[in-house]
Homo-oligomer: A and B are copies of this chain.
Amino acid sequence: MTMMTGAQYEESLRKMNFKVYLMGEEVKNPVDHPMIRPSVNSVKMTYDLAHDPQYQQLMTAVSHLTGETVNRFCHLHQNTEDLVKKVKMQRLLGQKTASCFQRCVGMDAINAVDSVTFEMDQKLGTEYHERFTRFLRKMQQEDWTVDGAMTDPKGDRSKAPHQQDDPDLFVRVVEKRDDGIVVRGAKCHQTGALNSHWVLVMPTIAMGPEDADYAVSFVAPADAEGIIYIYGRQSCDTRKMEPGADIDLGNSQFGGQEVLMVFDDLFIPWENVLMCGETEFSGMLVERFAGYHRQSYGGCKSGVGDVLIGAAALAAEYNGADKASHIKDKLIEMVHLNETLYACGIACSAEGHRTASGTYLIDLLLANVCKQNVTRFPYEIARLAEDIAGGMMVTQPSQQDFEHPVAGKFVAKYFRGTDKAPAESRMRIMRLIENLTLGTAAVGYRTESMHGAGSPQAQRVMIARQGNIEGKKKLAKAIAHIQE
């Protein structure tokens, strides 16, 4: 097997043995839990589309290791074309799921770890890259979804890892044994972790020598003993538990997922350890992973944006307002902002370059610029969608009222729009807009846009570092004829 179908993926997940808590209960079969299920469907789409001839050019790639066709999510970028196709694949999946499809973190993690382990080995004589390549070969062969896990709880953000009151607030090595290491700590906000076969753990910040125990990277089966998941609440999450839930979900089929992943003294054999104490490389790994992941958002968020723009356009049409010039202008603005995000994703890809290992890296400055825009424009696109939709999006009655013998006839009568817009269509599109701006998908479209791949200030630090202000000063001095 090289590429699973969606059905095969689903089956493979069912065989996993996760330890999960959700709403105060242990969940034995997460795949079929109604609150979790839509997030499985989103990942599943990454498998199904890879078998659709229409999309194969984007969804698949030829492995540089084996020459076999693999899902692009398991691929190392071999050139700038690969980087560009990655972004286009992400936009496509955003359009098809209107959600976070979760599989990008693993793709971004393997690409970052590849070049960094290569350069570590070159400088330090370690053997991390070989270990990693063995893992990657297996990952491609089995078509695994991998969780790239970076963000630690961090506790008091004004303190370094080793300064925290509780030493476990960053993931750390608590024991080094002959056969491997024992790690303790947790990773927060883990997108899609429960839908993954393996997890690739990375440190979360640049570190100094005193933080050596915290400079740790490794892979582990996602259901390894010692890993505990606690499921994160999303806005409107329990609507999925309501009987007959459909209209009120907005997007009944797809969703995202975030969990707290706890390492309760997890054992990792040496062959799965990819960094252990090399603090001078932790910053580089963070920078590269974050760079790839900031590029990603130029793709996925513009895909989700496409759906939101379409929904707003439909709402206007149903309201009989689509001919109003201010409505048309707002839709243009939404498209403009959305395409600016996409343009930044494309640009940092087209301007990518080869690293020592052969894997291509995006342009770091432009990738950070891309993400910085992502922390702003989806919010404005959402605001404009809410403007166009009208208040009904947050005041319309429940699906149950719509289906009630007495109340339902009033709902049908008074929530219709133009003669082509029955109440149900209108209610569905309002709920989709609600879903993306306030509901479960707002977690992905708003908060993840803000904080995923690093909060806005993290990009600003990188822009300052990469922006070559000194070079710009020289340009200005030359023009102004200032000799110093």
Alpha-carbon distance A97/B480, docked complex (angstroms): 11
Asked if B186 contacts A230 (CB within 8 A), the reply is no
Question: Would A432 and B479 be within 8 Å (CB), given that A155-B416, A340-B344, A484-B425 are in contact?
Answer: yes
Known interface pairs A309-B469, A463-B335, A469-B310; A391-B350 also in contact (CB < 8 Å): no
Instruction: Give min CB distance, A65 to chain B, whole Å.
Output: 27
With A157-B320, A398-B233, A452-B391 already in contact, the answer to whether A343 and B335 are too (CB < 8 A) is: no
A231 at the interface (CB under 8 A from B): yes
Count of interface residues, chain A, beta-carbon cutoff 8 Å: 156
A460, closest chain B residue (CB): B332
User: Which of A395, A416, A482 gathers most chain B CB within 10 Å?
Assistant: A395
Q: How far is the CA of A325 from the CA of B332 in the complex (A)?
A: 14
| CB-based contact A155/B417 at 8 Å | yes
Q: Which residue of B lies closest to A264 (CB)?
A: B410
Interchain CB contact under 8 A, B394 and A383: no
Nearest CB in chain B to that of A233: its residue: B398
A interface secondary structure, majority: helix
Contact, CB under 8 Å: A347 / B342:
yes
Segment 402-436 of A: residues with Cβ below 8 Å from B = 403-404, 406-407, 410-411, 413-420, 425, 428-429, 431-432, 434
Q: Is the CB of A417 within 8 A of B447?
A: no
A24 interface residue, CB < 8 Å from B?
yes
Residues of B within 8 A of A416 (CB): 153, 155, 166, 169
B254 x A479 contact (CB < 8 A)? yes
A343 to B232, CA, bound (A): 36
Residue A392 at the chain B interface, CB threshold 8 Å: yes
Name the one of B84, B151, B407, B475 contacting A306, with C-beta atoms under 8 angstroms. B475
A286-336 with Cβ < 8 A to chain B: 306-311, 313-314, 317, 319-321, 323-326, 328-329, 331-332, 335-336
Q: Are A343 and B370 in contact (CB under 8 A)?
A: yes
With known contacts A156-B419, A476-B307, A396–B233 Cβ distance under 8 A: yes
Contacts of A239 in B (CB 8 A): 238
Bound Cα distance from A443 to B235, whole angstroms: 13
CA distance A158 to B420 in the complex (A): 13
CB of A375, distance to nearest CB on chain B (Å)? 7
- On whether the beta carbons of B432 and A332 are closer than 8 Å, the reply is no
CA separation between A452 and B387, bound complex, in Å? 11
Are the C-beta atoms of B475 and A307 separated by less than 8 Å? yes
A377-408 vs B, CB cutoff 8 Å, 1 = contact: the mask equals: 00100010011001111111111110110110
- Chain B residue at minimum C-beta to C-beta distance from A399: B24
Please provide the 4 A-B residue pairs with the shortest distance between their CB atoms, ordered closest to farther.
Answer: A24-B400, A310-B472, A310-B476, A343-B347
A to B CB contacts below 8 Å, 20 in the list: A21-B406, A21-B407, A23-B400, A24-B398, A25-B404, A156-B418, A228-B407, A231-B401, A232-B397, A236-B236, A260-B411, A307-B476, A313-B472, A331-B467, A332-B467, A336-B372, A343-B344, A346-B351, A387-B455, A387-B456
